[in-house]
Amino acid sequence: MTQSDGQNSGLADGQGNGQDNGQDRGQGGMHAAAARGAVLRRLARASPAATAADDPATLSPMRALRLALTRAAQRRSRLVITVLGITQEVVPLDDLLRLIEADLLLIGLDGDCGLAGLAGIDTQTRAAVIEMQTMGKLRSEAAAARPVTATDLALVLPLLTGFLEELAQTSVATPLAGWVDGYLPGRRLPDLRAAGLALPESRYRLVRLTLDLGAGERQGSIVLALPESRTVADTPAPDPAQDWTRAFQTALGAAPADLHAVLHRMRLPLRSIEAFSVGQVLALPGVAVTSVSIEGPDGRRIAQARLGQLAGLRAVRLERPPPAVLSPAPPLPPVRRDLLGATPEPNRAG
């Protein structure tokens, strides 16, 4: 379902003036149409004042999405955008992964039970946010495709967080009410394969917003995917008296635990260490791939592991502990009679 509600309403205030000016100048044909189109785009990009149509009680789902994103972009990233179109569909996980472009920056959306959905931001939208944050203005030409960096993620997170917060407010009187409540952006998902392995099996509502970024002909897109329905009524509040143990276990299980995989320990004189050079091979006598020891921060051995690879990366596989071997007990010392309470025999004089 594609809807241009946001675009049409954004253009309504300026369309008459653009057409009248074109007619007054007497210009016709394609040049006049192009001029009017440019005027309309500039008017649509202007930040409109709040109107009665933006009252959450009267918004449609599509207009709630449009209003939430435009507000978040302006307030969080100083970016004036226009939502050109919105589509939404409900699909299972496998179809969701096929409908999302592979070049998007994928960010997990976390709820009370961990990862529950994802958001995707395309190259042009990422570039627009970064340009506004670093230069204060947008380039007229489209951004070139490049790998995503940690800086990209840090700069677009406020926009995504603001979008979720604004949507929770603008959708209160629509069928989307409660859909994004309680979700926050989490970690970056490397690719769609990793997303498919991490996301739970469910039916997802996939929303795609196409954007006019406000500079030349630059356009971008943002996708949002979360379970189809999630309302407060669907998740009753737990009884604190009954749920205390589970909450304590959850909190304790989330505590960080540092483990060290140790292949070998050795002592060397300081002069040998100072003579180390790149490419030097160190002999590890008696070390095999099964010699890895998993140790805690205090050096206590926790498990035995085998050195290997997984997906081209170094990995260790935990091994079963060796069976216990009983060794013969050492012989007991001879029993001293005086410890048993025996009394010496009396002397017999002749």
DSSP for 53-103 reads GG-GGG--HHHHHHHHHHHHHHHHH----EEEEEEEEEEEHHHHHHHS-TT
Write b or e for each residue in 260-294: b if 16 or more Cβ atoms lie within 10 A of its Cβ, otherwise e.
Answer: eeeeeeeeeeeeeeeeeeeeeeeeeeeeeeeebbb
The yes-or-no verdict on residue 50 having pLDDT over 50 is no
Range in 85-89, 177-181, 187-191, 287-291 the model is least confident about? 287-291
Q: What three-state secondary structure class fits 23?
A: helix
User: What's the rounded mean pLDDT across residues 312-324?
Assistant: 77
- Paired with 3 in beta bridges are 86
For residues 119 and 108, give the distance between their C-alpha atoms in angstroms, rounded to a whole number: 6
Give the residue among 84, 23, 95, 26 at the shortest CA–CA distance from 210.
Answer: 84
- How do 203-212 and 105-111 pair as beta strands? unpaired
Give how far Cα 306 sits from Cα of 152, 260, 273, 321, Å: 37, 13, 27, 12
- Which residues have C-beta within 8 Å of that of residue 4, sequence separation ≥ 6? 84, 85
| CA angle 143–145–150, rounded 5-degree value | 100
For residues 208 and 59, give the distance between their C-alpha atoms in angstroms, rounded to a whole number: 18
Tell me the HSE value of 330 on the side-chain side, using a 13 A CA sphere: 2
The yes-or-no verdict on residue 2 having pLDDT over 50 is no
What is the rounded average pLDDT for all residues in the chain?
Answer: 79
Q: What three-state secondary structure class fits 31?
A: helix
> How much is the pLDDT for 336?
66
> How much is the pLDDT for 256?
75
The model's confidence at residue 85, banded by pLDDT at 50, 70 and 90, is very high
Q: What is the pTM of this model?
A: 0.54
Range in 50-54, 216-220, 285-289, 346-350 the model is least confident about? 50-54
- Which residues have C-beta within 8 Å of that of residue 192, sequence separation ≥ 6? 97, 100, 102, 106
Ranges 162-176, 294-308, 313-327, most confident: 162-176
Please, are residues 159 and 132 in contact by the beta-carbon 8 Å criterion?
no
Place of tokens 């189109």: 37
Give the residue among 128, 109, 116, 115 at the shortest CA–CA distance from 221.
Answer: 128
